[in-house]
Every structure is written in structure tokens, then in C-alpha cells.
Amino acid sequence: MKWRIRMSTKGFNHKFRYEYCKIKNFILYYPKTLRATDRLMIEIRTRKGYDINIVGMPSHNLETLEKPASVALLPERIPFVKPRLKVKVDDPVKVGSPVFEDKRNSQLVFLSPGGGRIAKIDYGPRRVIKEIVIALDQDEGYETFPLISEAQLEGMERKKLVKTIMTGGLWPLFRELPFRDIPSPDVVPPSIIVSLNSREPFQPVPEVYLNDKVDLFEFGIKILNQLTETLFISSSPGNNFVPNRLNTHVTHTCEGVYPADDPGVLLYHIKKNPDENRSWYINGQDVLLLAMLFKTGKYPVDRTVVLGGSLAKEKKHFQTRMGVPLNHITKGRADDNGTARYVVGGIFKGYSEPEDSYMGFYETSLLLIPEGDEKEFLGFARPGYKKPSRSKAFLSVFNPSALPLDCNRHGEDRACVNCGFCAEVCPVDILPQFTYKSIIADEIEEALGHGLLDCVECGLCTYVCPSKVELSEVLKNTKKAYYLEQL
């Protein structure tokens, strides 16, 4: 039996209160027989969004990669941080030695993902630090951090816990909505959202990265529970792994197309008052790192990453470490003659990097996509049985198979014609076309009123735009500028 209910988020883990759902966009479900001791799994349905169906999706196989020759930290790719270096070239470092700190808060340190010596420090335009490369020793040294057992954790003061995570270099794993900056340690968040999987097709799936590590994950959940009163753990329905193994922990299942399980989308659907806007989130895989830091007393560098895209020969998961060189992952697995674009961090949100770059602190996905800089003869008039499109304007609407897609924009810049496709896919009900126009007209207040800050930067509005307007870039940059002005 389906009930339209609205959930009270206050004291969620202990007490439930239901009201009739007034928000049109989602329907909540709860089990038929609900006992007082049962944890509630709430199903959230997002109608908007879009699942891209293109070739090159990774399989669930996992291969462990050997140790790379070097690893790197990319301060440029960590949002809002102003790095102050604590090392020089040729300095010896251990795994977990501080490499740089944030000028805004010197407690926020970023640790070395490898043991060896600093091989080079690369600067970009305006002296921005692009890469800090660490050449790895055969036997890496490890900095030691306090071991904390579950019993110790129970009675731990919040302040002390925060300090342990900060000195352990893992505080940046937490991000604060809506600007996705690293949160201030003094603030108690209204809630922390853990997103287990991503509907983005090129991100690691929990079946792989949580395999054999469920206990570790549960320990990580305990740590998070010490940090906040309200912990939301969301997962996508459709696979049995998470419901079976983590049934007692998952609070929300997010049904719907990409980006239904983005923490920002979840928050948009469950928040009831403005205080909740500043919730934090952390990736499912990163919870494991937290737990490992406490359990092993070492700075954890394990990462499960995904290699995908139509130009990758082997499309699957890899067990490797933080900051590995991109060509360490793609060696012998690229099918591109050097023409592929290397996209780090996902097809919608990632950035492109040269082949000799490294994986970032947050990124767990690497894609090899054809550049697609070829002209296409009479492209607009072709039937398009193999042209992927959300619209029904090509014959591909009758083609259910995964289709190839390259980095071509498939059209020139045009003025917005108000077709409204962007508003049809926006998962948080912004009206990107109107918001974009108010930004262009410098009406920032109006844009904020439209819900600009709810934007989860999923990139779908730009993806679908037939006029090829860079909507999400404009929204994102405006958000960022607004945040920097507030600081």
C-alpha cells in the first residue's frame, strides 16, 4: 500500500512523524508492517533527470593494480582551498606527512598519499599549484595516527573526534552544501548525507567497493553518527547488494534517473526549512577511508576507481591508490592512438586532463572519450538512428541499444529559444533558462529566488540544450562568485 507521507527529519533515527506529503515531486513509501524498532527506509522518487545510455560503461569486475612509480596531489582540483606548501622539492615524505595546508584554516592539512620524496611541484598560470608529485620509495614509511576502537569512539568528545579526523587529513572528505566547500570544523551540521552509489554510469558501484568491507563501512557509520544527530544514507534501488547487506543503515532509497541520488537532490526533496540547506555530504567510498584511519592508525590511500569510455579496452573497476598517474591506469588498456580525451571525475561533472596527469583527491572515475572534432556532412538532416539524444528528434528514439558519443558539441552557439528542455531535466526544479537569463541581466537576487543555490551542478541542462548554451557553467560560476563574495 502506498502512502503519501512527509517525513520529519528532526530526531529521525528515533522517532517518526508523518504528515501528508505536500511536495508534488516525490512520493514516500514505508513498509506495511512497521514496528517501533524498525528502521525506516524511505523511498524518494525523482521524476526529472536523464539516464544517458552510451557505450563504454564499466563492468563490475575488479582488478588490483600494481604499485605506481609516483603519485600526486592536485591542489588545483580541491575547491576553494588556498594551499600553503609545507614541503619543498626533494623533501622526503612518508604516507601521511603534511604536504600543504589551507591558508584559510591552517588546521586543514592535506597529507601525502605516498612515501618517498617530492619529485616536482608544478605551477600553472598565476602561480596556482597544479601538481605535487611524489616519487615512491620501494618501502614506504608511514606516519602513525592514534588507533581508536569502537569502545573509545562511543565516549569520544566531538571536538576531539573532529581533531583526529583533521590531523588524519580526511576532513576534506566532508563537503558542505550548497557550495560544496570543505566545512568548518566548528560547525555542527544539520545532517550528513552519505550517498552510496551514483546514477552517473561511470562511478564505482557499492557492490564492488563495499565487497568484503561492510564491517569497515559500519564502523565508518559509527564515526559519522558521532558527528551528527541526523545521518542520511541513500542508495539506489535496483540492485540487491545494498539492501541485503546494509539494510539497517540505509535511510533513503532514491529512485529515478541521474542524478536522483546526488546528496543535493536528496536534500532538496527532504528539507523542510532553510536551516537544513547547509547539510554536509560524504561519498560512500570515503566512509571506508575514515574507518581505516581509525582502525589502522595509518593514512589510508586505497581507492576503487573506474575506467570507462568507448576508447578504453578494458572497462571495469580497479583497486589502486589515491593520486595515481592516469597512464598507470590506462597503460595497455587504451585503444585510442593518442586521440582520446581523458576525463577525470565522471562524464557530466569531470574535467579533462592531459594523459600524463594524475587522479585527484576526490575523483574515482577515468573516461576515455573520442574527441570528435570532425565535421559531419549534412549532420542535421540525417535520420540519426545511432545518434544519442534525450529528445525524440532522431530515429534513435527507436533504438534501445547503447550509442557512441564523443566530445563534439553537435551544433553551434545559438540564442536561447525558450524550448524549456533544461527545466524538464533539472532534478531540483530550477528553471535554468529563466535563471540563466536573470544572471545575464545581473539580477542575482532573482536567480537566488529561483533556487540557484539548490543547483547540484549535474550538468544536464547544458547537456540537453539545443542552442548549446553553457547553462550549468553559468549557474556554477555565479554560485561560486556569490560564495566568494560572502566569505
Minimum CB distance to another protein smaller for 296 or for 418: 418
| Nearest distance, CB of residue 438 and another protein, angstroms | 10
Distance CA 12, CA 225 (A): 12
Write the DSSP symbol of residue 469.
-
Minimum CB distance to another protein smaller for 253 or for 279: 279
Q: Which of residues 330-389 bind another protein (CB under 8 A)?
A: 341, 343, 347-352, 367, 369, 371-381, 384, 387-389
x-marked contacts with another protein along 312-331 as a string, rule CB under 8 A: --------------------
Q: Please choose, out of 57-65, 152-160, 214-222, 410-418, the segment that lies near another protein by the rule CB under 8 A.
A: 410-418
| Nearest distance, CB of residue 394 and another protein, angstroms | 6
Q: Does residue 394 touch another protein according to CB under 8 A?
A: yes
Closest CA to 304 of 261, 242, 366, 397: 366
The cell numbers describing 234, all together, are 541513500
Distance CA 362, CA 181 (A): 13
- CA distances in angstroms from 131 to 99, 123, 427, 440, listed in the order given: 11, 7, 34, 34
CB 28 within 8 A of CB 7: yes
> Could you tell me which residues are beta bridge partners of residue 73?
132
Kindly state the number of chain residues that form the binding site for another protein, as judged by CB under 8 A: 81
| Nearest distance, CB of residue 252 and another protein, angstroms | 17
Minimum CB distance to another protein smaller for 165 or for 403: 403
| Nearest distance, CB of residue 453 and another protein, angstroms | 4
Which stretch of DSSP H or E encloses residue 98? strand 98-102
Q: Please choose, out of 5-13, 70-78, 95-103, 406-414, the segment that lies near another protein by the rule CB under 8 A.
A: 406-414
- In the block, cell 606548501 appears at 85
**Exposed/middle/buried for residue 399 (C-beta within 10 Å: 0-12, 13-18, 19+):** middle
| Nearest distance, CB of residue 389 and another protein, angstroms | 4
CB 182 within 8 A of CB 175: yes
Residue 122 φ then ψ, to 5° = -100, 130
Q: Which of residues 10-49 bind another protein (CB under 8 A)?
A: 23-24
Selected from 16, 18, 463, 483, the binder of another protein by CB under 8 A is 463
Q: Which of residues 96-155 bind another protein (CB under 8 A)?
A: none
Minimum CB distance to another protein smaller for 185 or for 388: 388
Q: Does residue 406 touch another protein according to CB under 8 A?
A: yes
Minimum CB distance to another protein smaller for 63 or for 373: 373
Minimum CB distance to another protein smaller for 186 or for 374: 374
Selected from 211, 467, 480, 483, the binder of another protein by CB under 8 A is 467
Q: Which of residues 247-306 bind another protein (CB under 8 A)?
A: 271-274, 276-277
CB 251 within 8 A of CB 12: yes
x-marked contacts with another protein along 173-192 as a string, rule CB under 8 A: -----x--------------
| 410 C-beta neighbours (distance < 10 Å), count | 16
CB 309 within 8 A of CB 424: no
The residues, ordered by sequence, that sit 6+ positions from 118 with a Cβ below 8 Å of its Cβ are 87, 88, 89, 90, 91, 93, 99, 132, 133, 134, 135
Write the DSSP symbol of residue 351.
E
Q: Does residue 449 touch another protein according to CB under 8 A?
A: yes
| Nearest distance, CB of residue 256 and another protein, angstroms | 19
Q: Does residue 54 touch another protein according to CB under 8 A?
A: yes
CB 439 within 8 A of CB 455: no
Closest CA to 100 of 123, 69, 70, 68: 123
Residue 129 φ then ψ, to 5° = -80, 115
| Nearest distance, CB of residue 368 and another protein, angstroms | 11
Selected from 1, 151, 415, 487, the binder of another protein by CB under 8 A is 415
| Nearest distance, CB of residue 86 and another protein, angstroms | 31
Q: Does residue 468 touch another protein according to CB under 8 A?
A: yes
The cell numbers describing 423, all together, are 527545466
Selected from 420, 441, 481, 484, the binder of another protein by CB under 8 A is 420
